[in-house]
Amino acid sequence: MKPVSKRQWIKFGVATVLYILFCLWMQNGWLLLGILLLVDIYLTKFIPWNAWKKTKNPHLLSLFGWIDDIFFALVAVTFINLFVFQNYQIPSSSLEKSLLVGDYLFVSKLSYGPRVPNTPLSFPLVQNTLPVLNCKSYFDWPEWGYKRVKGLGKVQRNDIVVFNFPAG
């Protein structure tokens, strides 16, 4: 194992502090096991995460580059949709004086606290059904109870609040 540079230790320290703060916010001690992943990514490099970058074949290098970029984008967008904000379209005329049917809006999930997913096994970027297959986009097992983490604000009068349809 190569010696770890001071820069890598600083990156590891910043990533670990941010991850621990996220775990505390989520109130889930099991997530702290992810620190082992951070140790490997920043310090030990036991798992060769970037081994595909050493290939000599330019087509294979391009393919794996695209796969890597798409995977990172999916993880980032899923994290943002789950915990930061999500876009919605107005489905009914109940807000007729202020918003019209079909209007798009971004809803901050940090304001009132994001809801933790009920199951960890679901397809990203789809709501309840897969578009072509018309089947559920999530698995019922394992199922976690309802949980909402602490938000940054409180509900105020005249705030627009998004409610989920109870059946799914």
Domain boundaries, the chain: 1-49
Render each residue's pLDDT in the chain as its tens digit; 168 residues.
789 999 999 999 999 999 999 999 999 999 999 999 999 999 999 999 999 999 999 999 999 999 999 999 999 999 999 999 998 888 888 777 788 888 998 999 999 999 888 888 888 888 778 888 889 888 888 888 888 999 999 888 988 888 776 554
Distance (Å, whole) CA 105 – CA 99: 9
- pTM of the predicted structure, to 2 decimals: 0.81
Instruction: Name residue 161's amino acid.
Output: V
Of the chain, the end-to-end C-alpha distance in Å amounts to 50
pLDDT at residue 167, rounded to an integer: 54
Distance (Å, whole) CA 75 – CA 72: 5
Report the Cα 87 to chain-centroid distance in Å: 14
* CB-CB contact of 151 with 111 (8 Å): yes
pLDDT at residue 96, rounded to an integer: 76
Q: What DSSP designation does 144 have?
A: P
The residues, any chain, with a CB within 8 Å of residue 71's CB and separated by 6 or more, are: none
In terms of Cβ atoms closer than 10 Å to its own Cβ (0-12, 13-18, 19+), residue 147 is middle
Distance (Å, whole) CA 12 – CA 40: 10
Q: What is the residue-wise DSSP string for 1-47?
A: -PPPPHHHHHHHHHHHHHHHHHHHHHT-GGGGGHHHHHHIIIII--S
- SS3 (DSSP) at 52: helix
